[in-house]
Amino acid sequence: MSDSHPPIKEFRLELSALTYTGHDLVRPESIIAQPDGTLWTSDGRGGVMRIAPDGSQQFFGGLGGEPNGLAMARDGSLYIANIGNGRIQRLFPDGHSEDVLTEVDGVPTTCANYVFIDSKDRLWLAFSTREQQWWPAAAQPRPDGYIVLLDEKGPRIVYDGIYFTNEIRLDAKEEFLYVAETMKNRILRFRVQPDGSLTDKEVFGPDGLGVGAVVDGFAFDAEGNVWVTTPLRNGLGIITTDGDYHVVFEEANEEVLSTFEEKVASGTATPADMAACAGRTLQSLTSITFGGPDLRTVYIGSLAMSRLPTFRSPVPGLPMRHWAS
């Protein structure tokens, strides 16, 4: 248990309490924080941005496509799910990159969304859809998202049939794999078997977080709560260990969200309809990362903002694999 703090169910923030980190970022969808204060964000210009502890920034390009989810290996290299070209790539500290995975069972991968590295250095990979581009699977939801496990046995699909697979993470004991099922507005979880197979599918928390509450990214805190981003509601919420859900902050236009859901249901939604959901202060929040020396500084990624909304959490985050490398 962490230091004493008010019940997490009472934690709320006004938008005016947010600070911001970074500048001139392009589609900083995912964020990696290192113990020394260094941050890495995916960058829509086909690379990643390094934000040093002193605030200086350095761009690393050459990946092409649209880099999305990030994970850091023990040697400091970054694994990147590139949603633009469908590949899993690796960027090394010296700046060179290579493809790690471009096909499974002889079929080219598409819409690579996220990478998670577990304590055994296995790669858990989320692919949102089998479409070449992700938008059709958002506009007309279909269960064609899947999860790949890459270990010493090679890559294999361990679960299929998800309505837009987004971020995936193992819990602290690595007993369960949690999955953001974006177009069902919910979090799923599976029991992880010793061979990496997934069983006992269930919904964690509410079976739907509200109107337009598509889920994108999430992270565990040290107490086992799941912090969830809802990009169309421009918000952040928490699913507590007992399955309760509450909003920490959001900037939602209920009328626009209802119209968007109606258009999705009728198959007429366009990217402009999604863009119309953006708030004046916050736009399309996608991911959450705990950082700082005490893992209580929270950074939020997005599809549309040029900086990272930042705040202090009452409870530390669960460190990722690279934190203890």
pLDDT score for 309: 98
Cβ contact 114:68 at 8 Å: yes
Q: How far apart are CA 275 and CA 225, in angstroms?
A: 30
Amino acid letter for position 48: V
Q: How far apart are CA 237 and CA 239, in angstroms?
A: 7
> Taking the complete model, does pTM exceed 0.95, yes or no?
yes
pLDDT score for 3: 61
Structural Rg of the chain based on CA atoms: 18
Residue-wise pLDDT tens digits, 114-162: 999 999 999 999 999 999 999 999 999 999 999 999 999 999 999 999 9
Is residue 50 helix, strand or coil?
strand
Cβ contact 172:318 at 8 Å: yes
Of the chain, the end-to-end C-alpha distance in Å amounts to 23
pLDDT score for 325: 56
pLDDT score for 151: 97
Q: How far apart are CA 221 and CA 168, in angstroms?
A: 15
Question: Over pLDDT 70: what percentage of the chain?
Answer: 99
Place of tokens 């964000």: 41
Q: How far apart are CA 288 and CA 325, in angstroms?
A: 21
Cβ contact 33:291 at 8 Å: yes
Cβ contact 182:216 at 8 Å: yes
Please report, to the nearest 10 degrees, the dihedral formed by the alpha carbons of residues 187, 14, 232, 303 taken in order.
Answer: -100
Is residue 203 helix, strand or coil?
strand
Which residues of the chain, if any, have pLDDT below 50? 1-2
pLDDT score for 194: 95
pLDDT score for 6: 80
